[in-house]
Amino acid sequence: MTKYILPILLVSLLCSSCKKKTVIESELNLIGLKPETFKLIDTTFYDSKKIRSLRFIKTKTEYIDVFFYESGKKKSIGPIKKNQCHNKYIDWYENGKDKWTREYFYGKQIGKSIEYQENGNLKQINDNDKKEITEYWQNGNPKMKFIEGGLQYFYYSNGNFLDKYDPINKTEYLVKFFNENGKIVFSGNSKSNILYKNNDKYNGKIICFFNNGKISHFEEIINGVNEGKFYSYYGNGILKFEGDYKNGKEVFYKCYFENGKVNFIRDAKNKTFTQWNEKGEIIK
């Protein structure tokens, strides 16, 4: 349900009394928005008749959208200019902590996009300018770091490396795999996606272990390329990913969230890709 109301009417709607401010009015003060400074405000409501969103309109193509939880707590704010996302956007958890901050320049995301976990720890940083992504474990330690055309790092939850791909040039990487205790399991080079050790195509298995003695990562290499089953685990014993190679080509890959639900399935045989969110809902 959408309704246009004048700022003075909105103020009277928000105020339950002249002395006590409503939750939404208090949240607007924290954001720094004053309804009386806008000519028109577009309001939508939940089925409970509580305010769901407020659109503070400057012109037909320039306005600010503010969304609220049904409790009245702020949920997100985003300015629009020339009908495109523009400037800083913020999402909040209902407890008031930052959930996601990012910035746009007329529809294009710029600068750093930063996501937080509900406990306040970092979840992910995406640096659009440097083409760099860093993901974090729930405890705040780095989980993965990736730079487009550059390094690729994966970590155990204790902060130690699981594997590192450091670029030497455009087609060659220095590759290292580790146990959770930091001990090197494999060190070699990847040239045009072929794995070498001491300048020879590698033949053997790469098996890494957690501190509790369980396997954290397994893959088999024949003539420098993957062959057969491969898999990796989270520290909680849940599969991180699993797959299969045949004749050096991936035929199947399945990735999981830390809660055990499937993230995505890539099926080369049937040429399909299916993705789900952490709740188990399919993403179309």
pLDDT per residue as tens digits for the range 123-132? 999 999 999 9
CA-wise closest residue to 187 among 173, 168, 171, 167: 173
Domain boundaries, the chain: 1-129
pLDDT per residue as tens digits for the range 220-269? 999 999 999 999 999 989 999 999 999 989 999 999 999 999 999 999 99
The pair of structure tokens assigned to 101 is 């901050």
- Alpha-carbon distance of 230 to 217, in angstroms, equals 8
**H-type alpha helices, 54-174:** none
Q: What is the pTM of this model?
A: 0.85
pLDDT per residue as tens digits for the range 101-120? 999 999 999 999 999 999 99
The pair of structure tokens assigned to 7 is 């700022």
